[in-house]
Structure 1
Amino acid sequence: MQTVDTVIHARWIIPVEPASVTYDHHALVINNGRIIDLLPSSEATAHYQAKHTEHLPDHALLPGLVNCHTHAAMSLLRGIADDLPLMDWLQNHIWPLEQKWVSEAFVKDGTDLAIAEMLRGGTTCFNDMYFFPDITAQQAVQHGIRACVGFVVIDFPSVWAESGDAYINKGLALHDELRQQPLVRTSFAPHAPYTVSDEPLQKIRTYADELDIPINMHVHETAFEVDSAQQQSGKRPLQRLHELGLLSPAFIAVHMTQLTADEIALVAEQGAHIVHCPESNLKLASGFCPVAQCLAAGINVALGTDGAASNNDLDMLGEMRTAALLAKAVASDASAVPAMTALRMATLNGAKALGLADEIGSLTIGKAADVIAIDLSELETQPLFDPISQIVYAANRQQVTDVWVAGKRLLNKRQLTTLDSDELKAKLAVWQQRLSAKP
């Protein structure tokens, strides 16, 4: 009998790979932070002696959710300027507050809040874009969550850097610092076509190729963005990015609510990824990403929440449900984006976009043990005929009871193990006072 770190027995295991498969009364075997077996519970008991054994008779085990687009620290701005269109929201509310308040302390406390919320909702990996990415990385390491930390690049100065070159150089230095961190990866994160000029984008493309890291960017988020670009340059933003050589399997285009058939074909041909943020797009009235068309074209479409300032939560279970429902309405097809597709978008597709599909995104032998448990015994998820459908269309994040990242338990029966909720709430009360103070 082999001795291992952990065996988790569950009523259902939904591995995502292979698709649409659910294993009944199976166990997941974890050793040294990795999945080493997935087999019937009776066989697991006969073959493995575990240092820690968990019995979850009412739960489904899934791969941890991958939130493929966040601005984690902006959680401190949740609800501060609601019910406004994107450019009004940004220019007249969010950017002035950021100019006044963003600092290392702001990013530290805001990131802690985001990590706490994400872990309690089953997210085990997030792809971030914000100032002070070194602080975001530091907090991710401290609390044990997996992260891809983006190096923001914009043309104008901020508290983080004073020029395009300075943003890039700081990002390159941080990339070198994080090389040995097993849970934190890096990417370039030029903000958007309307805030980043050609020269820094060309440099980013060169460095990203050399370092083999992704580039993620807000693209075609609103009709206003696309129309403005056409008026100024005669080109749609996606065309400009393609001419600059950015579209590739390393490129992650976030939002993409304004797409023509030719642009969908171009993205598919270049192998770029799309991150769909349905709730943020709905709240800001930015438009609808044609998800069903993109998937049909062979594009890898992942899911993100965007920041809590524009969502207003980091709830990937909710995002899955909204993505599935919205896609049906946009496509006028009730079979568009079925439950399994939505789950894959929130797990394996996100891992693929980040270049992590060999490491996370499915409960596959050899991959990291990023695992979540959802209690399906609640009245709200009864009666239960199909666990996958029930998770996407009926379950809520309060039913996520346990979370492991690389085999380490970060949520234990709804209690965070690496964050002090009371201490965090005290810090948030201080930020609420600061941010709501009149100038």
Structure 2
Amino acid sequence: MIDLLLIHGTVITMDPFRRIIQDGAIAIHRGRILDIGASEILESNYEAVKVIDCSHQCILPGLIDVHGHGGHSLFKTIAIDYIDDWMPILTKTYKHFVTDEFWYYEGKLSALKRLKAGITTGVSVIGSMPRSDNPVFAINHAKAYAEVGIREVVCTGPCNPPWPHLFSRWVDSKRITKEVTYEEVLQGAEAVIEALNHANEDRTRAFITPFVIVTSVEPSGPTSPARLHGLTEHDRYQAKRIREIARKYQTRIHSDAFGGMIHLAVQDRENALLGPDVHLQHCRGISFDEARILADTGTNISASPGITQASARTPVPELIELGATVAISTDGTSPCTSFDMFQAMRRTQFVHQAALRDESYLPPGKLLEMITIDAAKCIGWDDELGSLKIGKKADIITVNLRQPHLTPEFMHVHRLVYQAVANDVEHVIVDGKVIMEGRNVHTVDEGKVLYEANEEADVTIKRAGLEKYMQPTKYFWGHARGYVDEECYLEKDNLNK
């Protein structure tokens, strides 16, 4: 007798042949896919402990969100009206005003949101810039994801210079601030990898994650070619140390990159943070020669759709045509993005069709690949995840088509890409275990998670003094353009203290 049998669904395999099986079934046993085929055949061949009728549903691999941020789920929309200073505001909060427990409660909410959106594997950078001065933050976050039951790739490592850096922890309601060296944050990141990589029956992995691959240029956008003056001593030292840690623990490298960084990084050929074991998020504003370097080195790329793509686009179609592996990420969930991968697909398509003035770019099949099998390749997990094949991990979701906006039930991939939303996900299975059934979560008390998240958010907002960044400006209603009132201007000198 097998553990689980899914029957009478439309199975979108994402296997090498991209098979779509009408009235299909999947047999699951001991956490893996045992068989895939017609419902009539599998029903006669297998007796199961549990059978789920997936009539009027698509059955597909669990979605994979290859880049997001731990912490952001408790700060959604805070400081969005101060967008130029949003990063410093949140970074200061993460460095000095969150407790150890914050990461557990935020992790529970983050994992629950991803679960209910059909994401079975999510990458979480701990903080806005990664924070690794103590491993407890990442460990608490991973504990929360493990309790909810979905996979997490925990990413942490050093933020940018100058060093040493001030970080705070809260002990018995008192803030204790300490000066931390670059070597100490590397040690903290190593401790995270030791504790979490392949933990939780390999549902948790940990990657080494410098904030960006080159620290001496613009960290959040492309740098003018006129300012690319070569790698600094710290750039070279960081690349060397990150490479050493990745080799020592046989783990992967995850980081951000923007235009100009790839041109510089490749100058250190021995330690360049490029290659098949590297996954780079954003890559906005890169030049054609940089795109070719990424493709030639086998570096994996992901990008999230947003307004910043208008001024400095990630050349997604061009990278794909050059042979690179490219995934779509949410970069969720703050300041105003969600973990809805269906919306992320549509927005990605719109951004690049508009930029290239060509509606032929990024057809629906490619978009679905970019959040399943291509995403699995980006994080080096495509041997077990990203498609429905015999022997692979049984990470599976179903989407309920019996709804007005998803009817009629044909052209199923088109229907998912163009009309589905996160709330249409009906069942979620991870490692062969049903953790959401009929949108009811089996692993945690959803009401309790939401209550604790609200409580923790309220306390943290007060502690960090974020209330002033939650108030609308006088231009909020009735104006075509928003401004920040003069009396609300930020005290910029204090943001990085």
Q: Same fold (TM over 0.5)?
A: yes
**In structure 2, what residue type is equivalent to 1:141?**
A
For residues 205-244 of structure 1, what are the structure 2 equivalents within 5 Å? Answer: 205-220=243-258, 236-244=260-268
The aligned residue for residue 193 of structure 2 is 175
AA partner of residue 319 (structure 1): A
User: Superposed, which structure 2 residues align to 1:216-365 within 5 Å?
Assistant: 216-220=254-258, 236-244=260-268, 245-279=272-306, 281=308, 287-365=312-390
Q: Distance in 2 between matches of 1:10 and 1:104?
A: 46
Per the TM alignment, residue 382 of structure 1 is displaced from its structure 2 partner at its CA by 1.6
Give the aligned residue type for 2:331.
Answer: D
User: Is residue 262–residue 293 contact of structure 2 (8 Å, CA) maintained in 1?
Assistant: no
Report Cα offsets for 1:68-99 as digits up to 9, x if no partner: 001132111101011454x52212x2123223
Q: Which amino acid aligns with 1:126?
A: G
Out of 53, 62, 65, the residue aligned to residue 64 of structure 1 is: 62
For 1:159 and 1:291, the matched residues in 2 are separated by 39
**How many residue pairs end up in the alignment?**
419
Q: Helix, strand or coil for the counterpart of 2:205?
A: strand
Q: Which deviates the most, 159-168 or 363-372? A: 159-168
- Give the aligned partner of residue 125 of structure 1: 121
Aligned to 1:232: none
Q: Which residue of 2 aligns with 1:387?
A: 412
Identity %: 25
Name the structure 1 match of 2:426.
Answer: 401
| Secondary structure of the corresponding residue to residue 42 of structure 2 | helix
Contact 2:60 2:396 in 1 (8 A): yes
Evaluate the alpha carbon distance shift between residue 423 and residue 158 of structure 1 in structure 2; reply closer, same or farther with a 3 A threshold: same
**Residue 288 of structure 1, CA deviation:** 2.1
Change (3 A) 1:263 1:64: same
Distance 2:355 2:334 in 1: 25
Q: Which moved more, 1:109-118 or 1:322-331?
A: 322-331
TM-score, normalised with respect to structure 2: 0.80
1:165–1:200 CA contact under 8 A, matched in 2: no
Find the aligned partners of 1:286 and 1:166 in 2 and give their Cα distance: 37
Q: How does 1:46-195 map to 2 (within 5 A)?
A: 46-85=44-83, 87-91=84-88, 93-130=89-126, 131=131, 132-154=137-159, 155=161, 156-159=165-168, 162-178=180-196, 179-181=198-200, 182-192=202-212, 193-194=214-215
Q: Is residue 280–residue 310 contact of structure 1 (8 Å, CA) maintained in 2?
A: no
Select 1:26's aligned residue among 6, 24, 27.
Answer: 24
SS of aligned partner of 1:278: coil
Q: Is structure 2 residue 204 aligned with structure 1 residue 204?
A: no
Q: What do you get for the CA RMSD once the two structures are aligned?
A: 2.0
- The Cα shift of 1:177 comes to 2.4
C-alpha distance in structure 2 between counterparts of 1:352 and 1:327, whole Å: 22
In the superposition, the TM-score normalised over structure 1's length comes to 0.90
Offset, 1:188: 0.7
Distance 2:370 2:112 in 1: 22
- Deviation of 1:345 after TM superposition, in Å, equals 0.5
Q: Offset of 1:41 from its aligned partner? A: 0.3
Cα distance in structure 2, aligned partners of 1:197 and 1:240:
9
Q: What is the identity, as a one-letter code, of the residue corresponding to 1:400?
A: V
Structure 2 CA distance for partners of 1:17 and 1:398, relative to 1, 3 Å: same
* Number of the residue aligned with 1:233: none
In the alignment, the residues of structure 2 paired with residue 433 and residue 210 of structure 1 have an alpha-carbon distance, to the nearest angstrom, of 41
Offset of residue 152 of structure 1: 2.4
How far apart, in 2, do the equivalents of 1:20 and 1:116 lie? Answer: 30
The residue matched to 2:284 in structure 1 has which SS?
coil
Q: Equivalent residue for 1:430?
A: 455
Using the TM superposition, give the Cα deviation of residue 367 of structure 1 relative to its aligned residue in structure 2, in angstroms: 0.4
Does the 8 Å CA contact 1:255/1:274 hold for their aligned counterparts?
yes
Give the conservation status (yes or no) of the 8 Å contact 1:19–1:340. Answer: no
In the alignment, is the contact (CA less than 8 A) between 1:151 and 1:168 conserved in 2?
Answer: no
In 2: Cα distance, 1:100 partner to 1:365 partner:
48
Instruction: State whether residues 342 and 422 of structure 2, in contact with CA within 8 Å, keep that contact through their aligned partners in structure 1.
Output: yes
**Which deviations, in whole Å up to 9, do the C-alpha atoms of 1:113-153 show, x marking residues without a partner?**
11000000000001111132222222222222111111221
CA offset digits 1:384-404 (Å, max 9, x no partner):
331001101101111101100
Q: 1:20 to 1:326 in 2, by over 3 A?
A: farther
CA deviations over 1:271-293 (Å, ceiling 9, x no partner):
001111113745xx663211110
Q: Deviations over 1:356-385 (max 9, x none)?
A: 000100001110000000001110112233
**Unaligned stretches of 5+ in structure 2?**
132-136, 170-178, 220-233, 467-497
Residue 383 to residue 210, structure 1, CA distance change in 2 (3 Å): same
Structure 1: distance between partners of 2:456 and 2:192: 27
One-letter amino acid of the structure 2 residue matched with residue 327 of structure 1: H
Displaced runs of 4 or more, over 6 A: none
The one-letter amino acid of 2:93's match is L
Distance 1:279 1:405 in 2: 30
In 2, distance between residues paired with 1:104 and 1:186? 19
Aligned in 2, Cα 1:353/1:280: closer, same or farther, shift over 3 Å? farther
2:372 and 2:167 map into 1 onto residues whose CA distance is 33
8 Å Cα contact 2:59-2:396 kept in structure 1: yes
Question: Are the counterparts in 1 of residues 199 and 205 from structure 2 also a CA contact under 8 Å?
Answer: no
Q: Is the 8 A contact 1:10 1:60 kept in 2?
A: no
- Over alpha carbons, which structure has the higher Rg? 2
Query: Which sits farther off after the overlay, 157-166 or 409-418?
Result: 157-166
Does the 8 A contact of 1:10 with 1:61 survive in 2? no
Amino acid at match of 1:211: Y
Q: Alpha-carbon deviation of 1:304?
A: 1.2
Listed one character per residue, the Cα deviations across residues 283-331 of structure 1 (whole Å, up to 9, x for unaligned) are: xx66321111010011100121113113421111211121122222222
Deviation at 1:266, TM superposition (A): 0.6
Separation in 1 of the partners of 2:247 and 2:386? 24
Residue type at the aligned position of 1:121: A
Give distance in 2, aligned partners of 1:315 and 1:280. Answer: 17
SS at match of 2:37: strand
Deviation of 1:20 (Å): 4.3
CA separation in 2, counterparts of 1:159 and 1:197?
26
Cα distance in 1, alignment partners of residues 440 and 236 from structure 2? 47
**Does the 8 Å CA contact 1:17/1:364 hold for their aligned counterparts?**
yes
